[in-house]
Amino acid sequence: MTHPLSDRINSLPASATLAMAAKARELRAEGKDIIGLSLGEPDFNTPDFIKDAAIEAVNENYNSYTPVDGYGELKEAICVKFKRDNDLDYKPNQIVVSTGAKQSIANVMQVLLNPGDEVLLPCPYWVSYSAIATLCEATSVEIRSSIETNFKITPEQLEAAITPKTKLILFNSPNNPSGVIYSEAEYRALAAVLEKYPQIYVMSDEIYEHINYDVKPFSLAAIESLYDRTITVNGLAKAFAMTGWRIGYIGAPEWIAKACTKMQGQITSGTNCIAQRAAISAVLAPISKIQYMVDEFKTRRGIVIDLLKEIDGFKVNIPDGAFYVFPDVSAFFGKTIQGVTINNASDFALFILEKANVATVTGDAFGAPDCIRISYAASELQIREAIKRIKEALS
C-alpha cells in the first residue's frame, strides 16, 4: 500500500548511522552478540558537577517555558566560552541555543538556503549535512578527498567547486568521520579563496573541538575576513558526554541569529530548562574537568590503529581528534569472502556485521565510498574483541 506522504519526506534519506544502530539492535534481539562501533556517543557518564547543577535547577523549580533563543545567563556563558577557547567575540544577541547541534545546523540551513542553492560539502562530511540540504531543496556538491590527502581538500579543489549558485560551505573540524583537524594555515589558505566570493556563507561545526590529541583546532570565524559570514556551531554532546541532554548552540551574525530564533520559535521553541541550567556549568568549566575522557579516547585511538594495521587490506591514517577511525577498505572490493562478494563499502560494513557481529558505518554515507567508520567510544575490551572478530572474518 502506498501512503500519501509528502515529496519532502520521500526525498529524505534515512540516517546511515541510525540505520546501522537499528540493524544491530535487531540482531541483538535475535540473540546475537553484536559489538556496536557505529554510533558517535561517548561511553562515559555525564560529569557529576553538571548533574549537580541540573539537580539544583530542579530543586529551584525551573519548570517553565524558556526563551526561544536560550536563557540569558547561558548565552552570556557561551560568549565567555567562545572568547576563552576560540578567541571569538560574540554578544548574547548573536547566540541561539537549540535542542542539539543538529537543530542548530538545520536552523541555519533553513534560514539561508533557497531551492536550487548549492551547498559545498568537503568530504568526508557528517551524514546529516546533505540530508538537511535536501530538506531545504538545495543541492549538495561534494568536494572529494581521500586517505592519501589525509581527508582534506585543497584551495584549488574549493575554487573549482564554486559556481554562481554556491550559497554555503560546511566545515567540520575535528572531523566526523575521519578525525582530522584542519590547521590554521590550511584554513587561511581556504579562506583566501572564499574572500573572492562574498556571497558564500560558512558554517563551522566544532562539536568535537575539545576531543583533540595535541593538535588544537582553529575556528574559521577567527579569520577577520570571514567573521561576518561564518556561523560557528557547537554543543555539549560529545566532549561533556551529554548526548541525551540535547544542547547545541551557534555564534553568528546577529541577523542570522534572529532568523534562527524565528525559525526555532515555530518548530520547538526554547530548549529544555533543566538542561540549559546544567549547560551553564558545563560551558564555564575548565577543560581540565573533562580531560580524563580525552586521555582515555587517546589511549583507545592508539589501540585501534595498532590493531587495524595488522589486518592486510586496511589503510589507516592517524586521526587528530574526535573518536573515530576511518580506514580505507577498497582493497577488499571485488573479492569474495566466506561466499559473500564485496563490491563496495556498504557491502563490507554489512559483511562484518553479519560475519563478525561488529557494527560500523559505511563511508558511502559520508561522501567517502572507499571507507568505513569505526567508533572507539567503547571499552578497550570491546575494541580488542571487535577487531579480533573482523580480522578472523576476513582471513
Q: What is the pLDDT of residues 174-189, one digit of tens each?
A: 999 999 999 999 999 9
Identify the pLDDT of residue 123: 98
- HSE of 339 in the Cβ direction (CA atoms, 13 Å)? 2
CA 361/CA 375 separation, integer angstroms: 9
Phi, psi of 248 (to 5 degrees): -130, 165
Q: Which of the 8 DSSP states describes residue 265?
A: H
Q: At what angle do helices 48-59 and 273-284 cross, to 10 degrees?
A: 140
CA 184/CA 218 separation, integer angstroms: 6
Cis before residue 124, ω within 30 degrees of 0? Answer: yes
SS3 label, residue 310: coil
CA 321/CA 211 separation, integer angstroms: 5
Among 14-23, 125-134, 375-384, the least confident range? 14-23
CA 77/CA 75 separation, integer angstroms: 5
Name the residue with cell 563478525: 356
Identify the pLDDT of residue 3: 86
CA 261/CA 360 separation, integer angstroms: 36
Cβ-Cβ contacts under 8 Å for 380 (sequence gap 6 or more):
299, 300, 303
Identify the pLDDT of residue 42: 94
Q: What torsion, rounded to 10 degrees, do the Cα atoms 347, 350, 355, 360 define?
A: 120
**Are the C-beta atoms of residues 353 and 21 closer than 8 Å to each other?**
no
* pTM (predicted TM-score): 0.95
The better pLDDT of the pair 276, 23 is held by 276
Phi, psi of 118 (to 5 degrees): -105, 140
> Which residue, among 159, 176, 164, 116, has the nearest Cα to 140 in the 3D structure?
116
pLDDT band (50, 70, 90) for residue 153: very high
Cell readout for 299 is 589511549
Predicted confidence (pLDDT) per residue in 341-375, tens digit: 999 999 999 999 999 999 999 999 899 999 999 99
